[in-house]
Amino acid sequence: MVSSGTLLNLLMMRSIREYLRALTVLRADGAGAARPHSRFRANADRAFEFPLLQGARLTAWEMVQERIPVTLVTDNMAGHLMQRGAVDLVVVGADRVAVNGDVVNKIGTYSLAAHHGLPFYVAAPLSTIDLNVPDGNAIPIEERSPAEVTGFRGEHWAPEGVAVMNPAFDMTPAALVTGLITERGVVAPLDADGIRRLFAAT
């Protein structure tokens, strides 16, 4: 995806459960060994994902260990960076993928795929794909505790009794995904036939 000498500004969103993740795509050598990378710069999104600050504590740490140039940003900066041309493509992980290619991932993923017209890749192992789920609308979206929004570690900043919505995930339609990167290859364009061929491969 990156030609020699090109500076690629890449927005990466963390999904921590799977072996094949967005970070895996950034490793330039097959062994995954840590070495300097000069052809791209990554923006670690999800910097302040409550309650664990995963972008700042985990994604950024991993990239520093891999010696991948990284800039830490908060979730709500992504649209601004894309609008200003500071991002060339987006790579995200996935928590679950329907057979038609719809992707359920950490909340905020859909907003990265919509509107800006940037290449949008999902990196996920076959274990995240559910051939029995027809589309993303059939995947339940977890609603997390309101306490994660109204305060943090004993501090409370929201008024008592305020209504809270705190979905943990959102769904990105397959039509917005440039390609699905798996351990058996890339599905592009992303559709049910392409996904089924992954499982038919020996």
Reported pTM: 0.78
- Span of 14-23, 92-101, 137-146, 188-197 with lowest mean pLDDT: 14-23
pLDDT-based confidence at residue 1 (cuts at 50, 70, 90): very low
- Rounded CA-CA distance 149/62 in Å is 26
Instruction: Report the C-alpha gap between 36 and 29 in whole angstroms.
Output: 11
Q: Which range has the top average pLDDT, 65-69, 75-79, 132-136, 152-156?
A: 132-136
Catalytic member of 95, 102, 191, 193: 95
Confidence bin at 103 (pLDDT 50/70/90): very high
Q: Are 61 and 73 in contact (CB under 8 A)?
A: no
At position 39, the amino acid (one-letter code) is: R
CA-wise closest residue to 113 among 26, 60, 183, 179: 179
More confident residue, 15 or 69: 69
* 95 belongs to the catalytic site: yes
| pLDDT (0 to 100) of residue 127 | 92
**Residue indicated by tokens 């705190």:** 166
DSSP state at residue 57: I
- Would you say 47 and 14 are in contact if contact means Cβ atoms under 8 Å apart? no
Q: Which residue has the tokens 């921590």?
A: 16
42 with 65: CB under 8 angstroms? no
Lowest mean pLDDT among 42-46, 62-66, 107-111, 162-166: 42-46
pLDDT for position 8: 42
Please give the pLDDT value at position 85: 86
Q: How far apart are CA 75 and CA 107, in angstroms?
A: 10
pLDDT digits (tens, 9 = 90+) for 52-98: 677 777 777 877 887 877 788 777 888 888 888 888 888 888 999 99
Q: Quick one: pLDDT at residue 18?
A: 35
